[in-house]
């Protein structure tokens, strides 16, 4: 009876619904269930008013929960074939594997190195428009830094390094052997550090699937498995392990060990710099400290068991820091603080979960500790769109402002500046040599006290317009590249939708004129110069930088929507954060280690107890360290109303 009535209800309801929604969404809504249409109408009505981030926290969270549900239903697209009828016993693989296999019991290859990037939006073919407008024109006129725009006290260079540390854990495209060359057009050639540059195409691979026929392969493991320090294959893992007491290789000065040629030994050293290397070294120390604690507690564990348990613990600590520390500072609002903590602890909160364990579903008890993983019917991967919104090189400064850590602290625990080191001297092997001279403490304190760049137009570092990339071994590749121009090209090459289609695909209202995007009159003039009146041609990267930011957000709302769905997915699709997040898998001591670590400051305090006490005034290690601590707010977070 119900099944026969539903089509009639849908037919009656749809024309009425169309009167209240943007015409660009009529087709998308037609594919939704009746309930989802009603849910879409709720968020769409709020979007038209532009007020979700000004709603009381509890209502803002409800809006985000509805949005996340819709994106999980309609914005998780598989690329490649899915195995049918194949299942392995998770008990046969109680730990994370070197290449990410055997996490999903129904799909042994899901999330492993060498699998396809997924999609949040169907590919938009752009082969005929790869050079329209020219990427070097876009980079020169709209992206290249004029003068550093920073984030004030909100975000520091540690935070900028952290997201690169995560990228080295999650994503990297397999390249082809064929090279492409871009040449600077005459109108901008005099302003381009490189008049031309060559790079390798992204390798396009047939998927064997009827809907999305071609895709690209991820050479890293997209699970939150710490592969930035462990590597994404057995060969790399073998190079970083000591094979004694479960530990990883580390130098006596607390930095990454270097080989005889001066290259860092770590899980992933491609296109790296001293900031990322410092964080890799810190979490190698963390892994080794976990090994010591486990060996003391469980003396019968051998090298292999100690390594596996310590990797689980360290990876979970990294994931937790990113979820409830880094992201909270990136999206500095009460609504997102409540939301990110709910992802980990549930709305019942940490105290309840620590006392009674995981109770209820994801909403009450959080994603971590769910009875079983949930991939929403789509094999786990990170997506092309996820890669695109994580193009955040504008966070990087022009130089590192070195501090004197032997001097007495100044106001707000601020150390005096001594030297400025160009960022170009801190990348690759040269950067490792410089870091050895600087030392861990001075590097970390210097990054902590320096604000990072803002994700805005005209703020992409000039030194990245003539940069030498490195291969998987950290060795320089002969060809210099113009990175902002390359990133514009990459999105087009990989068929990632341009800005307006990207927003439509995420059920966000598109812009119809440049003034919808920004209030900056100069930006509007230059956008018109580069793209004419055609807002549909606007490149995604430019749109993300130009978009008006929500108060407290260091990123655009458009980028945030991808974060909303994928940040959840990284946790709930992984059995080591859900069904296997328990004492049996992690050990009691290991689980206690994860549960008592709340932020990056806790990790720093564990290994450098004097550092934060002497030099850090802020609450979070991702905020500029001389910032005042977060003020106490007596109002419970779920009862707060944004100002």
For residue 194, pLDDT beyond 90: yes
pLDDT in tens, 588-642: 999 999 999 999 999 999 999 999 999 999 999 999 999 999 999 999 999 999 9
Q: What is the pLDDT of residue 209?
A: 85
Does 393 show up as a binding residue in the annotation?
yes
Q: What is the pLDDT of residue 2?
A: 47
- What pLDDT, on a 0 to 100 scale, did the predictor assign at position 3? 57
Q: Report the first-to-last Cα separation within the chain, whole angstroms.
A: 50
Residue 168 a catalytic site member? yes
- Give the pLDDT band (50/70/90) at residue 9: low
Q: How much helix, strand and coil, in percent to the nearest 5, is found in the chain?
A: 50, 10, 40
Torsion of CA 364, 369, 372, 375, to 10 degrees: 80
Confirm if 59 and 198 have CB atoms less than 8 A apart: no
Is 50 exceeded by the pLDDT of residue 279?
yes
The percentage of residues in the chain with a pLDDT greater than 70, rounded to a whole number, is 97
| pLDDT of amino acid 13 | 60
- Architecture of 115-615 per CATH? Orthogonal Bundle (1.10)
Buried-state track 360-384, b at ≥16 Cβ within 10 A, e below 16: eebebbbbbbbeebbbbebbbbbbb
Q: Which of 258, 268, 265 is nearest to 225 (CA)?
A: 268
CA distances, 369 to each of 6, 101, 225, 592 (Å): 37, 21, 16, 14
Q: Is 15 a residue whose pLDDT tops 80?
A: no
Whether residue 26 contacts residue 18, with contact meaning beta carbons closer than 8 Å, is answered with: yes
Contact 120, 209 (CB under 8 A): no
Q: Tell me the average pLDDT of the chain.
A: 95
Q: Give the per-residue pLDDT at 148.
A: 98
- Structural element, H or E, at residue 183: strand 175-183
- Which helix (H) or strand (E) segment holds residue 397: the answer is none
The pLDDT assigned to 643 comes to: 80
pLDDT at 4: 59
Say what the pTM is.
0.96
The reported pLDDT for the residue numbered 211 is 87
Mean pLDDT, residues 277-296: 98
Q: CA-CA distance, 354 to 393, in Å (whole number)? A: 38
Asked if residue 5 has pLDDT above 70, the reply is no
The tens digit of pLDDT for each residue in 105-163 reads 889 999 999 999 999 999 999 999 999 999 999 999 999 999 999 999 999 999 999 99
Model confidence at 171: pLDDT above 80? yes
In the block, residue with structure tokens 């990410």: 100
| Tens-place pLDDT, residues 35-82 | 999 999 999 999 999 999 999 999 999 999 999 999 999 999 999 988
Q: What's the rounded mean pLDDT across residues 317-331? A: 98
Q: Which one from 71, 168, 309, 322 is the annotated catalytic residue?
A: 168
């Amino acid at each position: 009876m119900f099944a026969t009535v539903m089509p009639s209800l849908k037919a009656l309801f749809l024309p009425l619904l169309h009167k209240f929604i943007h015409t660009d969404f009529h087709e998308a809504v037609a594919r939704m269930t009746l309930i989802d249409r009603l849910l879409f109408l709720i968020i769409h009505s709020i979007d038209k008013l532009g007020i979700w981030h000004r709603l009381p926290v509890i209502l803002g969270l409800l809006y985000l929960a509805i949005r996340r549900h819709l994106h999980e239903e309609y914005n998780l697209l598989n690329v490649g074939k899915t195995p049918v009828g194949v299942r392995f016993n998770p008990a046969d693989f109680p730990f994370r594997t070197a290449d990410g296999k055997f996490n999903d019991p129904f799909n042994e290859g899901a999330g492993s190195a060498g699998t396809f990037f997924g999609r949040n939006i169907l590919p938009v073919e752009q082969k005929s428009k790869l050079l329209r407008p020219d990427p070097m024109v876009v980079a020169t006129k709209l992206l290249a830094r004029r003068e550093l725009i920073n984030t004030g006290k909100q975000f520091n260079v540690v935070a900028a390094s952290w997201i690169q540390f995560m990228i080295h854990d999650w994503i990297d495209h397999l390249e082809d052997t064929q090279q492409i060359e871009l040449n600077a057009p005459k109108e901008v050639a005099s302003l381009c550090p490189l008049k031309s540059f060559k790079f390798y195409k992204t390798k396009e691979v047939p998927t064997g699937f009827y809907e999305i026929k071609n895709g690209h392969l991820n050479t890293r493991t997209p699970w939150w498995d710490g592969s930035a320090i462990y590597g994404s294959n057995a060969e790399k893992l073998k190079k970083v392990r000591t094979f004694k007491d479960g530990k990883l290789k580390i130098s006596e000065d607390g930095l990454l060990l270097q080989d005889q040629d001066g290259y860092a030994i770590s899980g992933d050293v491609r296109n790296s710099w001293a900031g990322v290397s410092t964080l890799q070294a810190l979490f190698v120390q963390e892994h080794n400290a976990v090994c010591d604690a486990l060996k003391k507690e469980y003396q019968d564990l051998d090298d292999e068991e100690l390594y596996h348990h310590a990797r689980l613990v360290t990876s979970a600590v990294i994931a937790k820091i990113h979820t409830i520390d880094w992201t909270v500072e990136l999206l500095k609002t009460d609504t997102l603080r409540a939301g990110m903590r709910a992802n980990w602890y549930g709305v019942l909160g940490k105290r309840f979960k620590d006392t009674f364990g995981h109770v209820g579903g994801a909403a009450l008890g959080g994603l971590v500790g769910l009875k079983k993983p949930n991939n929403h019917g789509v094999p786990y991967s990170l997506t092309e769109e996820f890669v695109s919104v994580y193009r955040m090189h504008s966070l990087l400064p022009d130089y590192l402002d070195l501090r004197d850590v032997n001097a007495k602290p100044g106001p707000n625990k601020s150390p005096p500046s001594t030297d400025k080191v160009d960022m170009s001297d801190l990348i690759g092997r040269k950067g490792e040599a410089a870091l050895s001279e600087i030392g861990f403490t001075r590097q970390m304190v210097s990054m902590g006290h320096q604000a990072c760049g803002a994700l805005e137009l005209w703020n992409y570092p000039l030194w990245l317009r003539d940069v030498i990339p490195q291969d998987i071994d950290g060795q320089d590749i002969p060809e210099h590249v113009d990175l902002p121009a390359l990133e514009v090209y990459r999105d087009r090459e990989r068929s990632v939708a341009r800005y307006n289609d990207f927003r439509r695909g995420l059920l966000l209202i598109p812009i119809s004129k440049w003034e919808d995007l920004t209030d900056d009159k100069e930006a509007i003039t230059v956008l018109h110069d580069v793209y004419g009146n055609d807002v549909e041609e606007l490149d995604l990267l430019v749109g993300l930088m130009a978009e008006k930011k929500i108060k407290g957000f260091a990123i655009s709302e458009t980028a945030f929507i991808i974060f909303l769905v994928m940040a959840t997915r990284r946790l709930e699709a992984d059995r080591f954060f859900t069904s296997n997040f328990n004492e049996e898998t992690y050990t009691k001591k290991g689980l206690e280690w994860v549960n008592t670590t709340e932020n990056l400051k806790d990790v720093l305090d564990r290994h450098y107890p004097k550092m934060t006490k002497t030099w850090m005034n802020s609450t979070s290690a991702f905020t500029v360290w001389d910032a005042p601590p977060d003020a106490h707010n007596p109002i419970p977070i779920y009862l707060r109303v944004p100002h």
